[in-house]
Structure 1
Amino acid sequence: MRIKAPAKINLSLRVTSKREDGFHEIITLMQPLSLSDLITVTVNNGAGITITCDDPDIPTDGRNLAYKAALMFLEEAGLARKVHIDMGKRIPVAAGLGGGSSDGAATLQALNELTGAPLTEAQLHAIAAGLGSDVPFFLLRGSAVAGGRGELLRPVKLPGYSYILINPGFGVSAAWAYGNLTLTETSHNIRITDLEESAVALLERPSSVVDILENDLERAVAAQRPEVSELLLALKESGAAGALMSGSGPTVFGLFLSESGAAPALEALEERFKGYDYRIIAAKGL
């Protein structure tokens, strides 16, 4: 079975507090993108989990979230099966786009369908939450406001914005980004209902999205990697309605209200950064 595992961007990411378990409480608005990995899952009689991937830098053992997802699924379902997962990677790694989390969610969904749906949506969600903060979001296959660690989800519909993503060619650990964050008083006052109301209003007034574009992790990452600020400026100069770092970075995105506005900007940015080790990607919000 083949299934797409989409990337995501955070249109807003506010960190409200640090929890006793070491995680952070967040309030975020996420939208899945047309940019996706392609996951092919095969199930046969027998036992064992194997992974192949067209990116040699991706681990194919127990460190891979898709592997962990398959293992946890089989244990929860009480099944003994031979599972093979082939991964066609298109989403940059350690980039703030949720690629690994999306691969894990896609694996869970594929396995549940291939084995006759032995697990309920609630059971899949519980496994996903155990795999990582972003994994439950990808089970939705749509946009959502998220709270808690990211596992408390409120689905919303968003306009199909056009995006240009720029990945500067290096990775950022989410743990490092959160560890270098300075919590602000403003973030403490944010409520999930506020962001949910703002998200719902975007369908009637898509341009108001610029009012919510904020990422509390951006300053911490940009302080160590000035390329982030430079690329954000370049996106704004290209005509983006707004620009932001996604998740824990370092990928940044420019948001365009139409594809016709994004097309010339993509061409200009590709010319501007010719010779740089950057990935510049056009994508559509789903």
Structure 2
Amino acid sequence: MDSISLKALAKINIGLDVTGIRDDGYHEVRMIMQTVNLFDKLTIKKTADGSITMSTNLKFLPVDSDNLCIKAAELLIKEFGIKEGVHIDLEKHIPVAAGMAGGSTDAAAVLFGVNKLFNLKLSKKDMMERGVKIGADVPYCIMRGTALAEGIGEILSPLPPMIKCPVLIAKPGISVSTKQVYQSLDACFDTVKHPDIDGLISDIKAGDLKSLCNNMGNVLEEVTIPLHPIIADIKANMMENGAVGAMMSGSGPTVFGFFDDNKKAKSAKEALTKTGMVKQLYLTTIFNNKN
């Protein structure tokens, strides 16, 4: 095998709670992570000269060691003393810096691809243990599906698959500073409303979409939305157009909406398009490991 083509799937947070701040500055979290069928495409090819290079369809993305894809390839090639190199071509569709683990899922795909290309025989667990060295979300992006993430996001517990439903994903044309969001949260940590993560887990086990949407919560909305009110406007538009529930993913600014009917979801997509509030808009579905 000289090349491999892969899909790197995005994630959303059905629930996101921050439970504390560690002495090293990292935040303790409890999050429910969910993979969706929105993906980047990667092609990884062996190169004879030992170089690790990269190309992408987005000119503003780094293609050097600042990119997690390069870091992932370097990690395995160095560890296993591989003499050949790789070229990674990334076709980016997942919104960038949008709370959807786009960079982490690309890195996870590279770990998977290099493992296959060079027959390293690493298990999923092996790759997850290496992935955390690249980023806290990388192990989850290797696992995929529905999972509870704790610690700084690296302690993962698989959950039963979430009910499959249409998902509308919308990113406005703004950027959010994750650092600024967490600094704002720190300043009001004692007064924010924390979501019921255990209740959400019960809803997932029961397959109850309506109850899940009623219980969804993201503690970071309380600080991100005042900084970027358009997020609340997008949520409201989705709800007005038939979403069972809508919420910001991660630290934002991406908003997702769950629908119980594909026709409603398509109509909501058309309505949101007309507002001009969003730069990227996708209608997709829930992914689970039984897909």
TM-score (norm 1): 0.92
- Structure 1 distance, partners of 2:102, 2:158, is 20
- Structure 2 distance, partners of 1:196, 1:43, is 42
Extract unaligned runs of 5+ from structure 2. none
Instruction: Choose from 149, 152, 156 the match for 2:152.
Output: 149
Moved more, 9-18 or 223-232: 223-232
- Structure 1 distance, partners of 2:115, 2:193, is 38
The residue type paired with residue 41 of structure 2 is L
The residue type paired with residue 168 of structure 1 is P
- Structure 1 distance, partners of 2:194, 2:68, is 31
Change (3 A) 1:193 1:234: closer
Residue deviations 1:101-144, cap 9 Å, x none?
11000110111011113434333112211111211111013221
The residue type paired with residue 239 of structure 1 is G
Residue deviations 1:51-92, cap 9 Å, x none?
000010111011101011111122232323211100000011
- Structure 2 distance, partners of 1:194, 1:269, is 30
- Structure 2 distance, partners of 1:194, 1:47, is 50
C-alpha contact 1:163 1:284 (8 A) present in aligned 2: yes
Q: Give 1:277 shift.
A: 5.5
Instruction: Choose from 16, 31, 34 the match for 2:34.
Output: 31
Change (3 A) 1:116 1:250: same
Q: Find the counterpart in structure 1 of residue 71 from structure 2.
A: 68
Identical columns (%) = 36
- Structure 2 distance, partners of 1:110, 1:141, is 16
SS of equivalent to 2:72: helix
Q: Find the counterpart in structure 1 of residue 164 from structure 2.
A: 160
Extract unaligned runs of 5+ from structure 1. none
Q: Find the counterpart in structure 1 of residue 189 from structure 2.
A: 183
Instruction: Choose from 235, 238, 242 the match for 2:245.
Output: 242
Matched, 1:222 2:225: yes
Residue deviations 1:133-192, cap 9 Å, x none?
2111110132211111111111221111211111111222322222221324777796x7
Instruction: Choose from 133, 138, 141 the match for 2:136.
Output: 133
- Structure 1 distance, partners of 2:42, 2:103, is 11
Q: Give 1:47 shift.
A: 1.3
- Structure 2 distance, partners of 1:86, 1:129, is 23
Q: Find the counterpart in structure 1 of residue 205 from structure 2.
A: 200
Q: Find the counterpart in structure 2 of residue 7 from structure 1.
A: 10
SS of equivalent to 2:39: strand
- Structure 2 distance, partners of 1:278, 1:189, is 29
The residue type paired with residue 199 of structure 1 is I
Q: Find the counterpart in structure 2 of residue 282 from structure 1.
A: 283
- Structure 2 distance, partners of 1:29, 1:189, is 11
SS of equivalent to 2:83: coil
Instruction: Choose from 272, 279, 288 the match for 1:269.
Output: 272
Matched, 1:174 2:178: yes
Change (3 A) 1:193 1:272: closer
Change (3 A) 1:189 1:94: closer
The residue type paired with residue 257 of structure 1 is D
- Structure 2 distance, partners of 1:126, 1:187, is 33
C-alpha contact 2:50 2:84 (8 A) present in aligned 1: yes
The residue type paired with residue 48 of structure 2 is N
What is the count of residue pairs matched by the alignment? 281
Change (3 A) 1:42 1:233: same
Change (3 A) 1:252 1:197: same
- Structure 1 distance, partners of 2:195, 2:240, is 32
Change (3 A) 1:268 1:188: closer
C-alpha contact 1:13 1:215 (8 A) present in aligned 2: yes
Change (3 A) 1:130 1:195: farther
Q: Give 1:222 shift.
A: 1.0
